[in-house]
Amino acid sequence: MASGLAAAVLLTAVYFAAPLAGIDVRAPLVAIAACLAAGYAIAGLIHLSFHNPALGKAYASSRLNEEPVVRFVLPFREPGTVAVLALPNLTLDVMLLRNGSMFKEPGKHTDKKVFLTIKKAKKEVFNPVVLRSLFEAIKPFEKSEHVLLVNEHDEVVGYIPWARAAREFVGENAETKIRKYILDVLDDPAKSVELRKLDGMGADDIISDSATIHEAARMTWFHDPLHGLVVYSGKRNRKPIGVINKNALLQLIATGA
């Protein structure tokens, strides 16, 4: 607004001083200057509107466990989702035993989703060949969404979207990629930042569902490339709920959640 006022004063001075100096000020010039002055004034008003809450009220950001934000968290365990736990001391048959018929005839269960959790053991280590076979067995269930990596204490150390896991961990060079993005991460969670290359999330890309949407958004803004966050319940990262992606966070911020 100060800019608009200054422009208006300058316009008035030029208008009255120009004839005294023998300069013919034409109407178009005056009109252009008036438009500039109005533009500065409007810009000032817009600037103020973005930096002051409406009607002077403080803005309270929604939490991740509140409506409508909670609807944007993609849950790990939806009704009907089949949970599969992979442990290094289990054979493939044992991993799939509880739902063996489903995996033997996947064509009859295309509506099912699989939620795969890969858990580190204290002593045993995974055989990448077995994990490749596991991904091959689960690949037909294309509606699946999540692969979660946890340590021996069930704490989240990484997340990979199902679509990327099903593409990267089968076929040529699958064992090499499994070693890099799964076995190495389980062995050293500091390497979990590599999972961002698969559109995934690392050990530090997690947030409590009691945090606000603005707190979540700040984490994605200041860590690039960060595709989203794993959301856990309360104060314990041993209780993961689901994931919220960066686009959802931006949409919620834009709509004033």
Q: Could you state, in chain order, the average pLDDT of each consecutive group of 10 residues for the chain (257 residues)?
A: 49 54 53 48 43 43 91 92 95 89 88 95 94 95 96 96 96 95 97 95 96 90 82 90 92 82
> Residue 145 class from Cβ within 10 Å (0-12 exposed, 13-18 middle, 19+ buried)?
middle
Residues 161 and 217 in one domain: yes
Distant-in-sequence, close-in-space partners of 163: CB < 8 Å, separation ≥ 6: 145
pLDDT of residue 79: 87
Residue at which a domain ends, from 56, 83, 102: 56
Judge whether 217 lies within some domain: yes
Q: What type of residue sits at position 118?
A: I
pLDDT of residue 47: 45
Judge whether 105 lies within some domain: yes
Residues 76 and 191 in one domain: yes
**Domains of the chain: total:** 2
Residues 90 and 145 in one domain: yes
Judge whether 64 lies within some domain: no
Q: What is the pTM of this model?
A: 0.75
pLDDT of residue 155: 96
Residues 121 and 244 in one domain: yes
Torsional sign, CA 57, 59, 49, 2 = positive
How far apart are the C-alpha atoms of 144 and 165, rounded to whole Å?
11
Distant-in-sequence, close-in-space partners of 23: CB < 8 Å, separation ≥ 6: none
Residues 9 and 46 in one domain: yes
Residues 191 and 120 in one domain: yes
Judge whether 63 lies within some domain: no
How far apart are the C-alpha atoms of 201 and 225, rounded to whole Å?
10
pLDDT of residue 43: 47
H-helix segments, 100-181 = 100-104, 128-138, 162-168, 174-178
Residues 143 and 224 in one domain: yes
Judge whether 160 lies within some domain: yes
Q: Which has the closest alpha carbon to 110: 134, 84, 82?
A: 82
Judge whether 228 lies within some domain: yes
pLDDT of residue 162: 96
Q: How far is it between the farthest Cα atoms of the chain?
A: 98
Residues 46 and 93 in one domain: no
Residue reference for tokens 């309360």: 234
Residues 211 and 176 in one domain: yes
Residue at which a domain ends, from 25, 56, 87: 56
Residues 94 and 48 in one domain: no
Judge whether 15 lies within some domain: yes
Judge whether 200 lies within some domain: yes
Residues 36 and 146 in one domain: no
- E strand or H helix that includes residue 18: helix 2-20
Q: Domain range for residue 40?
A: 2-56
Residues 210 and 87 in one domain: yes
